Chain A
Amino acid sequence: MSDRIKEKLEILADAAKYDVSCSSSGSNRKNKDHGLGNTGAGICHTYTEDGRCVSLLKILLTNHCIYDCAYCVSRKSNDIKRAAFTVQEVVDLTINFYRRNYIEGLFLSSGIFKDADFTMERLVLIAKKLRREHNFNGYIHLKTIPAASPELIHEAGLYADRLSINLEIPTDAGLKLLAPEKNRKDMIRPMTYLKDQLIKTKEEGKLFKTTPKFAPAGQSTQLIIGASGESDQQIITAANYFYNKFNMKRVYYSGYVPISYDKRLPTIGTAVPTARENRLYQSDWLMRFYGFQADEIVNESHPLLDLDIDPKLSWALRNMDRFPIDINKDDYQLILRVPGIGVGSAQKIVAARKFGPLHIEHLRKIGVAINRAKYFISCKGFLQIYADKRADLIKSYILNSSKSKYTSSTTQQLQLF
């Protein structure tokens, strides 16, 4: 018995690992009636050897699937070991892992067996059992199965903290090529339903304290990077669209890990585009926390992100006329635009300058990366250096004064051309 559960766990955790989301924050479910668990601490309980956070028990209910999406390891035509958990097995694993402080909760997804509703029903049943029978108040993230009925999605929202549907392929053309059986509309419909429900619950919550929680950590989605030849502009534009149109809490970017000899995809052995993935996350942060518009980061004349420098520095070099920023006078929003100054440093600068003008030494102690910032700022006793030099020269000065962790991967790319 215990050997079979060990094997199942290995198969179904392995199959779930390409879903990069492992967030457990954004919800503040309290421990109620002396029960088990609460939510909101956003803790990573360990990290895998690839450096990713492990916060949740992330598994598939089953990896049996009626679909044959080329990019997916669980596709019907793939010759792999198949397994399925029972509802009770998932509940027991979650509770016992949680009680030992291994995890913040459960992230449950599934291959689609029989049909969408049949699969969705079982996911909901597990969440319901955890909440109702075990008074479990830890985090639950459920995958919404495309084309599942609104009633089931609604019920899922009553028990889960977060719901998500992965778009996976950023472009319609790519989806048609790689997952011809899948229909973009089947994914968009539940997203729209969730967005409306989330807004409705929020408004009702303002009026009635007793309004039941509905997916308090909102909805998220994932885009696979580097499987269908899409440009960074297409990815960032898609992400921006989903943030604005569907109030997404997060859009995740997952560098494609080759798992197939399918001619339509990068072959096995191709490097995972981790540098590009990192630049996309930096761009995502610029949009969410730094007040950047999507088209400031990528646009028709600049459709690809630089791999050798971060997108904020790249924007600054393309807009040298916007600098220097005066550290002691300019607004917070402008200080945020300076390469080498993050949100934390910008807040400290704005607080500290009330006590007196800041010098370059102050900035260094606050934690500003002076080697980059010095080309874009002025402050007490310091003028922007090389204000008259061309952007490409400044770029080379910066690259020479720092060592990127991606140096080897970018030089490899350059050699191709």
Chain B
Amino acid sequence: MREVDLYFDGTWEGILTSIFEMFEYKIMPLSLSHTAARQKGMFQTAHDVVSQQDKADRVKKGLIEKIGRNGYLELWHAFLSELPDVPLLIIRLARHYFQSEQPERLNFGHDLVLRLKKIVKSVSRERHRMKAFARFQRLQDGLFVALIEPDFNVLPLIRKHFQDRYADQRWLIFDIRRHYGLYYDEHTTSEVTFADPGNLANSRTLVDLYAADEPLYADLWKRYFKSVNIVERKNMKLHLQHVPRRYWRHLHEKSFGLDA
């Protein structure tokens, strides 16, 4: 078993291909990093993984057989966290799963399994927050736009939720940190990018495009938010725990346009 530093293209197919080649070339991975991070001269122990669809498909099928669809999705959700240690964690776990006779996903005494569960939980929490905090603003042409800046790349995980819920309105949810979005045209949802984000740069620049009734409803919402608060029970610690400051800039009730 050779001990090797692996490099891949940063995609999910790349991760799956790495798992394939780990077995194919009998490699014990020491690290798994993006090709861009590769330093010249380290070639002795390095192995470049080139994403290959057929290898990725076979690994996906094998994983689903071994650990079920939910087990497979867990690994993918962890990947969406974009945390630096996650690619290596995923392929090590895949090796562990494939080599064990037991349903290792449920082995909460195992360090790698526990680390995975922790990351999956964080990603899931962020997904839930984006379902909660994405705020649509109605533009003159009837399009509803929400700008988000999630900690993790959760857009793929909220697609179905918004598609099912807002089936009768056109909407765009745009991740301004990762520069891509989801656009729904009342029939299908597709991934979109813009060469120049223009008015999508931040929530304030959207104001110029507002539909006539947008300021009224934004204002009503802010008033509602203030009126349901019970002053005698004020608990800012709890409030901040639920609505951390980093989300405020996209929430009407907490920030932009709020009268002083």
Contact = CB atoms under 8 A, between A and B. Distances in A.
A43 B132 contact: yes
A50 B213 contact: no
Contacts of A356: 109
B131 interface: yes
Contacts of A17: 227-230
A46 B137 contact: no
B223 A10 contact: yes
Given A43-B128, A135-B168, A274-B233, 8 more contacts: A10-B226, A35-B168, A44-B242, A47-B243, A51-B235, A51-B238, A58-B228, A366-B108
B131 A43 contact: yes
20 contacts: A9-B223, A13-B228, A31-B165, A47-B238, A47-B243, A48-B228, A50-B231, A50-B233, A93-B220, A96-B213, A99-B138, A99-B166, A101-B135, A257-B230, A272-B232, A352-B106, A353-B109, A354-B102, A356-B109, A365-B108
- Give the most central of A18, A46, A47, A96: most B CB within 10 Å: A46
B136 interface: yes
* Chain A contact patch, size range: 35 or more
A97 to B, nearest CB: 7
A194 to B, nearest CB: 26
A6 B217 CA distance: 10
B138 A46 contact: no
B219 interface: yes
A92 to B, nearest CB: 9
A18 B144 CA distance: 33
A52 B229 CA distance: 8
B224 interface: yes
Contacts, number: 163
Interface string A326-362: 0000000000000000000000110111111010001
B24 interface: no
Contact of B239 (A10, A47, A102): A47
B236 interface: yes
Closest 7 CB pairs of A and B: A51-B238, A352-B108, A50-B233, A13-B227, A47-B242, A348-B108, A48-B229
A255 B233 CA distance: 10
Contact of B114 (A45, A96, A365): A365
- From A17, A38, A99, A274, residue with most partner B Cβ within 10 Å: A99
B47 to A, nearest CB: 32
